[in-house]
C-alpha cells in the first residue's frame, strides 16, 4: 500500500453533478477527504449517497464536475482503481464458487499471488468457511467475505455503501474492528449509512447528504440525532 | 492473456456447476433442428436450418451470459483491467458455448438433412468457425450494452439479428457451397466476407466495450 503525504487529499471532488434522464441526483457536491481519514456520509434513502460513492469509485462519470484521486489529476483510471476497494450494498461474490475460489479469482484480477489469498483467509477468520460455496453463507458471513475481497489488494481508499445493513450485533462488531484496523494502517475509509449511531462508532467526521448536496464536514462526536432526523425529513421533502 | 484466462476459467467453472447456458442453447438448438428437419426438406435446406439454429441459440445463450454476470459486473469494472479484456473473455466464453451447440447439433443435421455433412466435415469447420466468432463478437457487444436493461431477453435478438444478417447470409452461402461439393477456394468470397466481418466486429467491440459498459 502506498499512502501519500499526511496533507494529501485521498479524494477531492468539485461541483459534482449527476443526472439520470435529466433528473439531477447530485446537484453540485464538493467533498475533500484527507488521506487516512474515516468519513461517514449520512443521508436518507434515495438522497444520492450511492450515486456519489459510484462516482468516487470510478464506476460512473459525473454529468458535470470532477474527482481527483490521491492528488494525481492525470493518473490513468486503471492505476486509480488498483488503489480503491469497494464494498457496495449488494454482494459482488459468485454464489456458485467457494469463498476461497472467489478470493483467488478477485486476487487474480489484481495480479496477487495465491499466498495473499491464504493470508487474507487467516486475517479475516475465514478459514472455516474457505471451502463453502457463497450461496450457503449468512448475510453477515457474506459481508465478511465481501470485505476480505475489497481489502485483498490492500487499497489506499476503502468505500463502503451501507455496510451495517442487515448485520447482527456480532457481525457489526467484527466489521467495525476490521475497518478500524484498516484505518490504523493509513487507509482512507468513506462509508455511507442512514444510521447516525453506526457512523459515530467508526468515523471521526461525518457529512450529511441532503437533496443532492453535502453539508459541511462535522465531528461525529457532536452529532445531534434529533437534528439529523429533521434534516432527513427535510431532505426528502 | 493471464486475465482473459482467469475470466474464462471462472465462467467455465460457473457454467460447469450450473449448466445453465449450454443446456438452454443446446435444448433450443435440438428443438429447432428437429422441427426444421420434420418439414422433410431436402439437403439444400440444411445450411439455412443450421444457421437459423445457431443464430437463435446464440441470442438465447448470450443473453444469459451477461444476466448471470449482472450483479458481479461492478467488481470486474472496478478491477485495474483494460475493459476490452472483459469483452475478449466474455466473447471467448460465448464462442465456446456456441461451439458446443454446433457440435451436439451436427449429428441431427446429418441425420435429418444430408449425410454429406460427415464427408465434408473439415471444410465445414471453416464457416462454422468464422461464423461462430462473428456471432459471439456481436452478441457479446450487445449483451454488454443491455445488461442493465429490463426486457433484455427480448432486446438482444432485436439488436443483434439485423447486424449479423450479412454474416449469416455469407455463412449460409459458404455452407451451401461446401455441402454441394465445391472446393474451398470456390467459396473464397463468402469466407473472406466472414473473416472481414469478424475482424471488424472483434476489433471494434474490443475498443468500444469500455463505453458500452459505462453507466
Please give, one letter per residue, the 3-state secondary structure of A137-154. CCHHHHHHHHHHHHHCCC
Q: What number is the average pLDDT over the span B170-174?
A: 94
At A157 the pLDDT is: 94
Q: Which of A113-127, B29-43, B163-177 has the lowest mean pLDDT?
A: B29-43
DSSP letter string, B15-49: HHHH--HHHHHHHHHHHHHHHHHTTT--GGGHHHH
pLDDT at A46 over 50: yes
Q: How far does Cα B28 stand from its chain's mean position?
A: 14
Count CB neighbours of B140 within 10 A.
Answer: 29
Q: How far is A105 from chain B (nearest CA, A)?
A: 7
Band (pLDDT 50/70/90 cuts) for residue A55 is: very high
Which cell is A13 given?
A: 471532488
Give the whole-angstrom CA distance, residue A9 versus residue A35: 5
At B175 the pLDDT is: 94
Check if B71 contacts A (Cβ < 8 Å). Answer: yes
Exposure letters A190-228 (e unless 16+ CB within 10 A, then b): bbbbbebebbbbbbebbbbbbbbbbeebeebeebeeeeb
Give the whole-angstrom CA distance, residue B21 versus residue B94: 9
pLDDT at A236 over 90: no
Q: What number is the average pLDDT over the span A137-149?
A: 89
pLDDT at A198 over 80: no
Chain A contact residues (CB < 8 Å to B): 54, 57-61, 78-79, 81-82, 84, 86, 88, 90-94, 96-97, 101, 105-106, 108-111, 149
CB-nearest to A105 from B6, B17, B81 is B6
At A232 the pLDDT is: 66
Band (pLDDT 50/70/90 cuts) for residue A234 is: low
Local structure of A15: helix, strand or coil? strand
CB-nearest to A59 from B3, B13, B77 is B77
Q: What number is the average pLDDT over the span A34-61?
A: 89
pLDDT at A4 over 60: no
Q: What number is the average pLDDT over the span A221-226?
A: 70
Higher pLDDT, B133 or B154: B133
Q: What number is the average pLDDT over the span A17-22?
A: 88
pLDDT at B92 over 60: yes
Question: Are the beta carbons of B13 and A101 separated by less than 8 Å?
Answer: yes
pLDDT at A235 over 60: no
Question: Are the beta carbons of B214 and A109 separated by less than 8 Å?
Answer: no
Exposure letters B180-196 (e unless 16+ CB within 10 A, then b): eeeeeeebeebbebbee
Q: How far does Cα A195 stand from its chain's mean position?
A: 15
pLDDT at B188 over 60: yes
Q: For A90-113, what is each residue's pLDDT tens digit? A: 889 999 999 999 999 999 999 999
Percent of chain A at pLDDT > 70 equals: 89
Do residues A106 and A147 lie in contact, with contact meaning Cβ atoms separated by under 8 Å?
no
Q: Rounded mean pLDDT of chain A?
A: 85
Check if B76 contacts A (Cβ < 8 Å). Answer: yes
Check if B10 contacts A (Cβ < 8 Å). Answer: yes
Q: What number is the average pLDDT over the span B111-136?
A: 91
Local structure of A27: helix, strand or coil? strand
At B207 the pLDDT is: 93
Which cell is B127 given?
A: 464457416
Q: What number is the average pLDDT over the span B32-59?
A: 85
Percent of chain B at pLDDT > 90 equals: 42
At B198 the pLDDT is: 95
ipTM of the complex: 0.82
In B, minimum Cα distance to A79 occurs at B80
Q: Of B67, B59, B8, nearest to B29 (Cα)?
A: B59
Q: How far is B21 from chain A (nearest CA, A)?
A: 14
At A171 the pLDDT is: 77
Answer yes or no: pTM beyond 0.90. Answer: no
Amino acid at each position: 500500500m502506498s499512502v501519500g503525504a499526511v496533507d494529501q487529499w485521498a479524494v477531492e471532488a468539485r461541483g459534482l453533478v449527476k443526472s439520470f434522464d435529466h433528473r439531477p441526483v447530485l446537484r453540485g457536491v464538493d467533498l475533500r477527504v484527507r488521506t487516512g481519514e474515516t468519513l461517514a456520509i449520512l443521508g436518507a434513502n434515495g438522497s444520492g449517497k450511492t450515486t456519489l460513492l459510484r462516482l468516487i469509485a470510478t464506476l460512473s462519470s459525473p454529468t458535470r464536475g470532477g474527482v481527483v484521486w490521491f492528488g494525481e489529476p492525470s493518473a490513468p483510471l486503471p492505476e486509480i482503481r488498483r488503489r480503491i476497494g469497494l464494498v457496495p450494498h449488494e454482494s459482488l461474490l459468485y454464489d456458485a464458487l467457494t469463498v476461497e475460489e472467489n478470493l483467488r479469482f478477485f486476487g487474480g484480477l489484481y495480479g496477487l499471488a495465491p499466498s495473499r489469498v491464504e493470508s487474507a483467509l487467516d486475517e479475516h477468520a475465514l478459514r472455516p468457511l474457505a471451502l463453502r460455496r457463497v450461496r450457503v453463507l449468512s448475510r453477515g458471513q457474506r459481508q465478511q467475505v465481501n470485505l476480505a475481497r475489497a481489502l485483498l489488494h490492500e487499497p489506499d481508499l476503502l468505500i463502503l455503501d451501507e455496510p451495517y445493513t442487515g448485520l447482527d450485533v456480532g457481525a457489526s462488531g467484527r466489521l467495525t474492528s476490521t475497518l478500524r484496523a484498516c484505518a490504523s494502517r493509513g487507509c482512507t475509509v468513506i462509508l455511507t449509512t442512514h444510521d447516525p449511531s453506526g457512523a459515530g462508532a467508526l468515523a471521526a467526521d461525518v457529512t450529511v447528504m441532503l437533496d443532492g448536496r453535502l453539508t459541511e464536514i462535522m465531528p461525529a462526536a457532536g452529532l445531534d440525532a434529533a437534528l439529523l432526523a429533521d434534516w432527513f425529513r427535510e431532505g426528502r421533502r | 492473456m493471464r486475465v482473459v484466462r482467469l475470466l474464462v476459467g471462472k465462467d467455465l467453472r460457473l457454467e460447469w456447476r450450473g449448466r445453465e447456458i449450454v443446456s438452454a442453447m443446446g435444448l433450443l438448438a435440438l428443438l429447432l433442428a428437429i422441427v426444421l428437419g420434420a418439414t422433410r426438406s431436402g439437403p439444400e435446406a440444411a445450411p439455412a436450418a443450421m444457421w437459423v439454429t445457431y443464430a437463435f441459440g446464440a441470442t438465447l445463450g448470450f443473453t444469459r451470459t451477461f444476466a448471470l454476470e449482472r450483479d458481479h459486473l461492478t467488481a470486474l469494472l472496478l478491477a485495474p483491467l483494460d475493459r476490452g479484456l472483459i469483452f475478449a473473455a466474455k466473447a471467448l466464453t460465448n464462442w465456446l458455448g456456441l461451439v458446443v451447440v454446433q457440435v451436439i447439433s451436427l449429428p441431427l443435421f446429418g441425420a435429418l438433412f444430408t449425410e454429406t455433412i460427415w464427408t465434408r466435415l473439415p471444410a465445414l469447420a471453416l464457416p462454422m468457425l468464422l461464423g461462430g466468432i462473428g456471432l459471439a463478437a456481436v452478441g457479446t457487444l450487445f449483451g454488454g450494452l443491455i445488461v442493465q436493461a429490463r426486457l433484455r431477453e427480448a432486446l438482444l435478438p432485436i439488436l443483434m439479428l439485423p447486424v449479423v444478417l450479412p454474416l449469416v447470409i455469407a455463412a449460409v452461402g459458404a455452407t451451401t457451397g461446401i455441402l454441394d461439393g465445391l472446393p474451398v477456394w470456390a467459396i473464397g468470397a463468402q469466407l473472406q466476407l466472414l473473416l472481414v466481418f469478424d475482424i471488424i466486429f472483434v476489433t471494434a467491440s474490443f475498443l468500444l466495450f469500455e463505453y458500452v459498459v459505462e453507466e
